[in-house]
């Protein structure tokens, strides 16, 4: 029988249960309690780090109350739930976000002050949780925030990497160096170890088909590893709903392999335990590239297998028939990284639940949803068949079976079309053969979506064209990305948030969750006093950034200049190179100006930040060029008041929170058709920064919202790109002829104006030869667009109007809108009120 609960005296239990703290005195009490007990520290020698830890532990107690009640509610009501499987969650810091979402920021600030600390110093002690590379991982974090804020029963599943994205250092020569990010070293108050929640995950071994008339097989032997859960609380904004992000840590099943140990082979025994721990030791620092490494495949399987086992166990507790699985569970695949979940669920349903193939496949294809985040070929995951066969023999069998049945159905619709079969096969022929993960994700899912209108069209007309023809277009959709206005406005730009609440006479508890209310700011473009306030806030954010750079890097920045910002992963398609070559062009132009001409120029400070994948040679060269151009330009007395340039090392979520509110203009200048969406473009615009960009990704939808007259567009459009590349290959025109301005800039770099003459040749040659990303095609119009930005900036009144209009029209880009689209049109889940 079931245990009676609570044990003992119910009243004693109930009287002792805590609720969320709301008043300053219980907050200070809990803070001091944690200093005394959890931290075992003396009040008189408590430093800022200790104060942060005490504050975090006390906030965590509050979150746990809500987190438990949310879990209880979900268990009782058993609604359909959605699971967001992502190899990356780029969370950043938690304390400030938790305080704002709980609505306790003021109370904590007051309490902390009474105890002799300032909130700012305390918040600044927290290390970023940087379990992601860039946009894809940060999107996952924004979606968790929105799911909780919209009271949706959504959990995240990921890996608890011991090392997050590497720390970036810049050498004296301007080279990127990488250092590990041991983010857990100071303990992590935001996670809850769940040593009781663990699963065994198998690798290698043998798979033997039963051949008993069923599709079953036995998978035995190999290596078994334990997946242990760590839970991270995800508070919603002004709601009790506090969801869960479950991260898996790998560990050896039995500490030591006793067989080897007894055989006297101590080293082999320890090695086995090392290899289990290695699985979740480090986040792969590659963005938009798939390297085919065995350990990465191990990570993917380890994580999908543990997550599915956990989801299945939870489903089974409801007591429904397995065929009802898709009525209770939706699983979103964040890119193809979790695609092994498809054959893994087939394996469980067939080998363990004993279902027939058709029933199992029907369950699978009603459970999964796949989001594609790129059409760049180098990013599309393919796994070598021999590697899969070795590591996951049963899954390879299942993939082959899926492929066979799939190709039979294609053959039936297009008899004799051999080319089509070869194109659509899950297996790419070659040496070795490879499994095309995007195709597997596509056919194994209920729906497929891209992340902005243009990108979703490109998915349908390029990489998945045959699949659209075969399966029908209704399976393919778009959910334009979004960003959480909690972190990316209220938290990073508190003054602007307060001005908005004051002006609209609407509490932020309302407009932060209904962001289209920002439209009510539109009439205020005509209010001079409001414009002054607006401009004043931008100015103070610029000073805050300058202060940050002064204290961290010792550099003094001219805050009277226009702040021009490009911050994102270094990648050729994002064209940081175009930006730095544009800066050099500007520098050369200034050098040739008379003193009189210079008076008309408005000063500009250009900021770059971003990491390059450690093995991405060309991207690293771009960083080196930026740093060395900065060195020359910033020291040139002829120009330094009018143009200066900074590369801020070790870009992170926290640095973005300081940079974004300070930008007058930001650059999103990818070759048309290459940036699936972009999300920092949305963050800048939400904070009243104007956008300089190409007609690409979500830039297009931003322009649709704010009006084309409020953005600065340049460059060739997507349909022209293919033709231009063809021209480059078959009718190349020397760069001196095609774009003399760019040729001159390249020659200056080659000639050693920024030192290291020979060093940059491989980078410059990517433009001189082939120019795959079309810098020479877009350079002139880029320079013209920059000139338009300068001109527009001269009219400050009009500029501030544009800035206000931009913020006002950004409501669409709240991740609340995006997550509601997923909930309604994809997952079919409903909000659950937790009281
Ligand atoms: F290649 N994105 C990313 F599609 O940050 F997998 N890393 C990646 O590895 C990939 C995509 C991948 C980004 C897109 O480049 C960006 O345009 C988009 O806004 C973001 O994902 C979120 O959808």
Q: Are 247 and 191 contacting, i.e. CB atoms less than 8 angstroms apart?
A: yes
What distances in angstroms separate CA 156 from CA 84, 153, 539, 704, one per listed residue? 5, 10, 38, 32
Give Cα 110 distance to the centre of its chain. 33
Query: Residue 2 pLDDT more than 60?
Result: no
Q: Are 249 and 160 contacting, i.e. CB atoms less than 8 angstroms apart?
A: yes
Work out the pLDDT band at 501, boundaries 50, 70, 90: very high
Q: How far apart are CA 634 and CA 506, in angstroms?
A: 45
Q: How far is the CA of 470 from the centre of ligand 1 (A)?
A: 26
Return the pLDDT at 258.
59
- β-bridge partners, 371: 334, 449
DSSP class of residue 87 equals S
Edge-to-edge strand list for the sheet holding 242-252: 191-203, 223-235, 242-252, 154-159, 81-85, 329-334, 368-371, 447-450, 476-478
The reply to whether omega before 6 is within 30° of 0 (cis) is yes
**Residue range 50-59, pLDDT digits in tens:** 999 999 999 9
Helix, strand, or coil here: 610? coil
Please name the residue whose Cα sits nearest to atom 21 of ligand 1: 136
Query: Residue 657 pLDDT more than 80?
Result: yes
Calculate mean pLDDT across residues 23-49: 95
The residue ranking higher by pLDDT, 655 or 272, is 655
**Residue range 731-780, pLDDT digits in tens:** 999 999 999 999 999 999 999 999 988 999 999 999 999 999 999 999 99
Q: Which of 60, 105, 531, 574 is catalytic?
A: 574
Query: Residue 261 pLDDT more than 70?
Result: no
DSSP class of residue 755 equals S
Query: Residue 146 pLDDT more than 70?
Result: yes
Q: Are 541 and 661 contacting, i.e. CB atoms less than 8 angstroms apart?
A: yes
**Residue range 680-723, pLDDT digits in tens:** 999 999 999 999 999 999 999 999 999 999 999 999 999 999 99
Q: How far apart are CA 553 and CA 607, in angstroms?
A: 14
Q: How far is the CA of 372 from the centre of ligand 1 (A)?
A: 8
Helices 576-591 and 617-634 pack at an angle, to 10 degrees, of 20
Query: Residue 259 pLDDT more than 80?
Result: no
487 carries an active-site annotation? no
Q: How far apart are CA 797 and CA 782, in angstroms?
A: 25
Calculate mean pLDDT across residues 420-448: 98
Q: Which of 568, 586, 624, 801 is catalytic?
A: 568
Calculate mean pLDDT across residues 647-666: 98
Return the pLDDT at 4.
61
Q: Which of 34, 288, 569, 585 is catalytic?
A: 569
Q: How far is the CA of 136 from the centre of ligand 1 (A)?
A: 5
569 carries an active-site annotation? yes
Residues in the chain: 835
Q: Which atom of ligand 1 is nearest to the CA of 698?
A: 19
436 carries an active-site annotation? no
Calculate mean pLDDT across residues 666-674: 98
Q: How far is the CA of 816 from the centre of ligand 1 (A)?
A: 19
- β-bridge partners, 219: 207
Please name the residue whose Cα sits nearest to atom 8 of ligand 1: 288
Architecture of the structural domain at 492-813: 3-Layer(aba) Sandwich (3.40)
Q: How far apart are CA 40 and CA 48, in angstroms?
A: 15
Strands 476-478 and 447-450: parallel
Q: Where are the beta strands (DSSP E) in 283-428?
A: 329-334, 368-371, 382-384, 427-428
**Residue range 273-292, pLDDT digits in tens:** 668 999 999 999 998 988 88
Query: Residue 810 pLDDT more than 70?
Result: yes
Please name the residue whose Cα sits nearest to atom 1 of ligand 1: 288
Tell which one of 86, 134, 336, 371 to mutate to probe ligand 1, the residue whose CB is within 8 A of the most ligand atoms.
Answer: 134
Q: Which of 373, 531, 620, 716 is catalytic?
A: 373
Among 117, 159, 314, CA closest to 246: 159
Reported as type and span, the H/E element at residue 93 is none
- β-bridge partners, 225: 201, 252
Work out the pLDDT band at 262, boundaries 50, 70, 90: low
**Residue range 455-466, pLDDT digits in tens:** 999 999 999 999
User: What is the token pair recorded at 649?
Assistant: 């090392």
Q: How far is the CA of 709 from the centre of ligand 1 (A)?
A: 28
Tell which one of 86, 140, 373 to mutate to probe ligand 1, the residue whose CB is within 8 A of the most ligand atoms.
Answer: 373
**Residue range 477-497, pLDDT digits in tens:** 999 999 999 999 999 999 999
DSSP class of residue 86 equals -
Give φ, ψ of 805 to 5 degrees: -60, -40
Q: How far is the CA of 678 from the centre of ligand 1 (A)?
A: 8
At a CB cut-off of 8 Å and minimum separation 6, what does 284 contact?
A: 291, 293, 296, 299
**Residues 395-410 as b or e (16 or more Cβ within 10 Å = b):** bbbbbebbbeebbeeb
Please name the residue whose Cα sits nearest to atom 19 of ligand 1: 678
- β-bridge partners, 157: 85, 246
Q: Are 741 and 592 contacting, i.e. CB atoms less than 8 angstroms apart?
A: no
Query: Residue 365 pLDDT more than 60?
Result: yes
Reported as type and span, the H/E element at residue 122 is helix 119-123
Q: Answer positive or negative: Cα dihedral of 443, 445, 446, 447.
A: negative
Return the pLDDT at 469.
98
Tell which one of 90, 283, 454, 676 to mutate to probe ligand 1, the residue whose CB is within 8 A of the most ligand atoms.
Answer: 676
Q: Which atom of ligand 1 is nearest to the CA of 135?
A: 5
Q: Is residue 497 packed enough to be buried (19+ CB in 10 Å), middle (13-18) or exposed (0-12)?
A: buried
User: What is the token pair recorded at 703?
Assistant: 């322009």
Residues with a CB atom less than 6 Å from ligand 1: 133-136, 139, 287-288, 335, 373-374, 379, 451, 481, 675-679, 697
Please name the residue whose Cα sits nearest to atom 2 of ligand 1: 136
Tell which one of 130, 131, 288, 454 to mutate to probe ligand 1, the residue whose CB is within 8 A of the most ligand atoms.
Answer: 288
Work out the pLDDT band at 269, boundaries 50, 70, 90: low
Q: Are 672 and 696 contacting, i.e. CB atoms less than 8 angstroms apart?
A: yes
Residue 783: CA count within 13 A, CB half-sphere:
19
Helix, strand, or coil here: 608? strand
According to CATH, the topology of domain 78-93+128-480+821-827 is: Rossmann fold (3.40.50)
- β-bridge partners, 246: 157, 231
Residue ranges matching CATH 3.40.50.2000 in the chain: 78-93+128-480+821-827, 492-813
373 carries an active-site annotation? yes
Q: How far is the CA of 700 from the centre of ligand 1 (A)?
A: 17
Strands 447-450 and 427-428: unpaired
475 carries an active-site annotation? no
User: What is the token pair recorded at 284?
Assistant: 């792969």
Complex confidence, ipTM: 0.96
Report the 10 Å Cβ neighbour count for 412: 8
Return the pLDDT at 1.
36
Q: Which atom of ligand 1 is nearest to the CA of 697?
A: 17
3-state SS, 135-157, equals HHHHHHHHHHHHHHHCCCCEEEE
Q: How far is the CA of 236 from the centre of ligand 1 (A)?
A: 25
Q: How far is the CA of 335 from the centre of ligand 1 (A)?
A: 8
Calculate mean pLDDT across residues 123-130: 98
Q: Answer positive or negative: Cα dihedral of 660, 146, 700, 90.
A: positive
Q: Which of 679, 694, 766, 807 is catalytic?
A: 679
77 carries an active-site annotation? no
What distances in angstroms separate CA 427 from CA 10, 342, 345, 382, one per listed residue? 61, 16, 20, 9
């Amino acid at each position: 029988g079931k245990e009676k609960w609570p044990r003992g005296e119910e009243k004693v239990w109930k009287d002792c249960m805590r609720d969320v703290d709301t008043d300053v005195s219980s907050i200070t009490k809990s803070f001091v309690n944690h200093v005394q007990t959890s931290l075992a520290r003396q009040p008189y020698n408590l430093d800022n780090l200790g104060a942060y830890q005490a504050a975090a532990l006390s906030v965590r107690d509050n979150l746990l109350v809500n987190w438990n009640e949310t879990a209880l509610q979900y268990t009782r009501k058993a609604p359909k739930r959605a699971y967001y499987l992502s190899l990356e969650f780029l969370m950043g810091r938690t304390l400030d976000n938790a305080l704002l979402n709980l609505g306790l920021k003021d109370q904590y600030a007051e309490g902390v002050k009474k105890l002799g600390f300032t909130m700012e110093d305390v918040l600044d002690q927290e290390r970023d949780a940087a379990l992601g590379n860039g946009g894809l991982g940060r999107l996952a974090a924004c979606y968790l925030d929105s799911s909780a804020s919209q009271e949706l029963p959504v959990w995240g599943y990921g890996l608890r990497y011991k090392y997050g994205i590497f720390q970036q250092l810049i050498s004296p020569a301007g080279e990127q160096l990488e250092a590990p990010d041991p983010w857990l070293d100071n303990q992590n108050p935001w996670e809850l170890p769940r040593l009781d929640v663990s699963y065994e995950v198998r690798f290698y071994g043998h798979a033997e088909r039963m051949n008993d008339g069923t599709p079953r097989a036995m998978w035995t032997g190999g290596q078994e590893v334990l997946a242990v859960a760590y839970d991270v609380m995800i508070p919603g904004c002004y709601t009790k709903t506090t969801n869960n992000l479950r991260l898996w840590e790998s560990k050896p099943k039995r500490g030591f392999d006793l067989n080897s140990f007894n055989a006297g082979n101590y080293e082999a025994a320890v090695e086995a335990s090392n290899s289990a721990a290695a699985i979740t030791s480090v986040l792969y620092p590659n963005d938009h590239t798939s390297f085919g490494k065995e350990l990465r495949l191990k990570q993917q399987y380890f994580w999908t297998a543990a997550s599915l086992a956990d989801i299945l166990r939870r489903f089974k507790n409801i007591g429904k028939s397995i065929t009802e699985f898709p009525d209770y569970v939706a699983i979103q695949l964040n890119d193809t990284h979790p695609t092994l979940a498809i054959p893994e669920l087939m394996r469980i349903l067939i080998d363990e639940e004993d279902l027939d193939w058709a029933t199992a496949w029907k369950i699978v294809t009603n459970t999964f949803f796949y989001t594609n985040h790129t059409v760049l070929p180098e990013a599309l995951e393919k796994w070598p068949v021999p590697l899969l066969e070795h590591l996951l023999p049963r899954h390879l069998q299942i993939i082959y079976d899926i492929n066979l049945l799939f190709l039979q159905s294609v053959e039936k619709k297009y008899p004799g079309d051999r080319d089509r079969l070869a194109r659509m096969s899950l297996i790419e022929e070659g040496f070795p053969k490879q499994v095309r993960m995007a195709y597997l994700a596509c056919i194994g899912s209920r729906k497929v979506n891209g992340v902005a209108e243009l990108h979703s069209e490109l998915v349908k007309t390029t990489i998945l064209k045959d699949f659209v023809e075969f399966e029908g277009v209704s399976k393919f959709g778009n959910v334009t990305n979004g960003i959480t206005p909690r972190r990316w406005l209220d938290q990073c730009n508190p003054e602007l948030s307060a001005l908005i609440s004051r002006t609209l006479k609407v509490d932020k508890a309302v407009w932060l969750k209904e962001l289209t209310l920002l439209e009510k700011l539109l009439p205020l473009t005509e209010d001079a006093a409001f414009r002054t306030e607006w401009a004043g806030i931008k100015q103070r954010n610029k000073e805050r950034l300058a202060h940050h750079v002064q204290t961290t890097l010792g550099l003094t920045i001219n805050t009277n200049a226009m702040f021009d910002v490009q911050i994102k992963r270094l990648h050729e398609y994002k064209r940081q190179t175009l930006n730095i070559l544009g800066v050099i062009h500007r520098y050369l132009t200034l050098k040739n100006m008379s003193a009189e001409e210079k008076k008309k120029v408005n000063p500009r400070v250009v900021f770059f930040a971003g990491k390059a994948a450690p093995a991405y040679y060309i991207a690293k060269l771009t960083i080196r060029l930026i740093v060395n151009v900065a060195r020359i330009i910033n020291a040139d007395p002829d120009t330094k008041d009018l143009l200066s340039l900074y590369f801020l090392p070790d870009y992170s979520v926290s640095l973005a929170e300081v940079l974004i509110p300070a930008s007058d203009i930001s650059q999103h200048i990818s070759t048309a058709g290459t940036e699936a969406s972009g999300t920092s473009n949305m963050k800048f615009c939400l904070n009243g920064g104007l956008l300089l960009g190409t007609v690409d990704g979500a830039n297009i939808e931003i322009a649709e919202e704010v009006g084309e007259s409020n953005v600065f567009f340049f460059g060739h459009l997507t349909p022209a790109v293919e033709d231009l590349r063809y021209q480059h290959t078959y009718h190349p025109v020397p760069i001196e002829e095609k774009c003399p301005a760019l040729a001159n800039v390249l020659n200056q770099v080659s000639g050693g104006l920024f030192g290291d003459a020979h060093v940059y040749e491989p980078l410059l040659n990517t433009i001189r030869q082939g120019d795959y990303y079309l810098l020479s095609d877009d350079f002139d119009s880029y320079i013209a667009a920059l000139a338009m930005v300068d001109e527009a900036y001269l009219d400050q009144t009009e500029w501030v109007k544009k800035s206000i209009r931009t913020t006002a029209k950004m409501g669409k880009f709240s991740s609340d809108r995006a997550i509601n689209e997923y909930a309604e049109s994809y997952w079919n889940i409903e909000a659950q009120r937790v009281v």
